[in-house]
Chain A
Amino acid sequence: MGDHDAFFVGLVESRYDALVRSAYLLTGNVEQARDLVQAALTKVYAKRVGVRDPGAMEHYVRRSIVNLHISSWRRHRGREASVAEPPEPLARTGEVPESVPVADRVAAQVDLWRALHTLTPRQRTAIVLRYFEDLSVAEVARLMDCGEQSVKTHTARALAHLRALLGEHEIDRKKEAEVA
């Protein structure tokens, strides 16, 4: 086993679960996330990425995951998906006692998880990379292969969409009252 293979195996063994978690946040489906990660890892290995700079391999894997996810969405958009039960409308604010802290209250009273999946893939990718991976705008831009301004735009539009969907004005108002 060469150095490249050894590094690849090391990367898989050490980062596989983290990559799957990140991919899961993009896809919303564990199996799809695993498929996505494995496809990205295979692709990166086949391209001999990281032969000269092993440190770059994870970056390319993450970038591949993002690209594959967006490509997959483009291929499958417009297709009908079978679900076991009809989706319920997203909950609105105001159904959880105000004694619950803001973050928990929002997360609990509204199905933010489902709301996140109403975002476009690029918006969701920007959100996941910014708020889960804690990457800077520049790092997100490199991973998404776009400009920093685009990342800011995607993020802002995603938050605006969620805000409109979940009625954050109400949340902010209550939060301010809570702080006061």
Chain B
Amino acid sequence: MSGQNEQALFDTDPSSGTGETAIEQAVRATLEQHATAVPPQDPPAARLLSSGRARRRRRDALTLAGAIVVVAAGVVGVHAAGFGTSGRTTPAAPSVVSTTGASRPAVYHATVPKNWKPGTKLPLNTYSSVPSWVQAQDAAADLASDKSEGHHVNLGVSPEPTMCLTLGSNPIAWPEGYYAEGSPLVVFDPKGRPVYVVDQGFTGVDGPAKLGFGDGVRLLPGLDMSHCAAQAGSGLKPYTLAMIFADTPRQ
């Protein structure tokens, strides 16, 4: 019997008071027996020190890169928050998207809530949300101007900011599920992907160029704007983007 096992046996003796069961004694003896079977090796201190230093350098580099990313993300977030000032209190998780404004060379960052859902569809087959920065009263006044020119405009039922407002105008029809947000206005498809940008201010009051006809702005897929182009060519105000919706609560 090995010395270790003798010790184990001694410890297992009920008179010793350890109270270990036979299986515990056996486990202890087995572990000690096998541990001694490991051949000693010269500690590779120098190699471990070297690999530790290399790993530390990589770790430090990643930490620095991560810090830069975090700072950059913070700057972008502040920038986006500056554009998207709203009276809404629900902090929906925003996704920052970058789009290029039609008449602005700078990249625009708009915050879009991932959980945004359109409200009840209006009688018009066009709809969007009202950008949070819009003063509904102002928009209504602009639209009233359009209406006075014979455009089909549905004014919102409520002039309160952040309440719904109808900016409706035929014949521009948006595919269902598209919405607009931000300043300048960014249009998103139902999955929240930016589709195209119109300039700040409501379309229809800013003139054809601001609507982006022919100036590089991507149009909604499937949207026939030939009639609008004709209008723009004649110098008339284009038909306004529409929309009206109660500003759907962020959920």
User: Could you list which residues of chain A lie within 8 angstroms of chain B, going by C-beta atoms?
Assistant: 5, 8-9, 12-13, 16-17, 20-22, 24-25, 30, 33-34, 38, 41-43, 45-48, 101-104, 106-107, 112-113, 116, 127-128, 131-132, 159, 162-163, 166, 168, 171-172, 175, 179
Contacts and interface: CB of A to CB of B under 8 A. Distances in A.
29 contacts: A5-B49, A8-B45, A12-B44, A16-B41, A16-B43, A17-B40, A25-B34, A25-B35, A38-B44, A38-B48, A38-B51, A42-B51, A45-B56, A46-B52, A46-B53, A46-B58, A47-B59, A103-B9, A103-B25, A106-B29, A107-B30, A107-B33, A116-B31, A131-B27, A132-B32, A159-B21, A162-B23, A171-B22, A175-B22
Contacts of A172: 21-22
CB-based closest 9 A-B pairs? A45-B52, A16-B43, A106-B26, A46-B55, A46-B56, A132-B31, A12-B45, A21-B35, A131-B28
Chain B interface SS verdict (over half):
helix
Contact of B27 (A17, A22, A112): A112
B80 interface: no
- Interface hub of B9, B23, B28 (most chain A Cβ within 10 A): B23
Contacts of B32: 132
Given A163-B23, A168-B22, A41 B55 contact: no
A24 B27 CA distance: 15
Contact of A131 (B14, B31, B40): B31
Contacts of A12: 43-45, 48-49
Interface in B56-113: 56, 58-59
B140 interface: no
Contacts of B56: 45-48
B223 interface: no
B38 A30 contact: yes
B215 interface: no
Given A112-B27, A168-B21, A101 B52 contact: no
A103 B31 CA distance: 12
A114 to B, nearest CB: 10
Given A8-B49, A12-B48, A131-B28, A21 B22 contact: no
A133 B56 CA distance: 30
Nearest to A109: B26
A24 B59 CA distance: 28
Contact of B52 (A17, A25, A30, A42): A42
B10 to A, nearest CB: 9
B41 A20 contact: yes
A4 B174 CA distance: 66
Contacts of B27: 112, 116, 127, 131, 159, 162
A20 B48 contact: no
Contacts of A168: 21-23
Contacts of A162: 23, 27
Given A46-B52, A103-B22, 7 more contacts: A21-B35, A24-B38, A46-B53, A48-B56, A106-B26, A107-B33, A163-B23
B176 interface: no
Nearest to B43: A16
A24 to B, nearest CB: 5
- Interface hub of B21, B45, B58 (most chain A Cβ within 10 A): B45
A22 to B, nearest CB: 7
A123 B22 CA distance: 18
A158 B245 CA distance: 64
A175 B12 CA distance: 10
Contact of B9 (A16, A46, A101, A131): A101
A128 B38 CA distance: 15
Given A13-B45, A112-B30, A131-B28, A102 B52 contact: no
Contacts of A106: 22-23, 25-26, 29
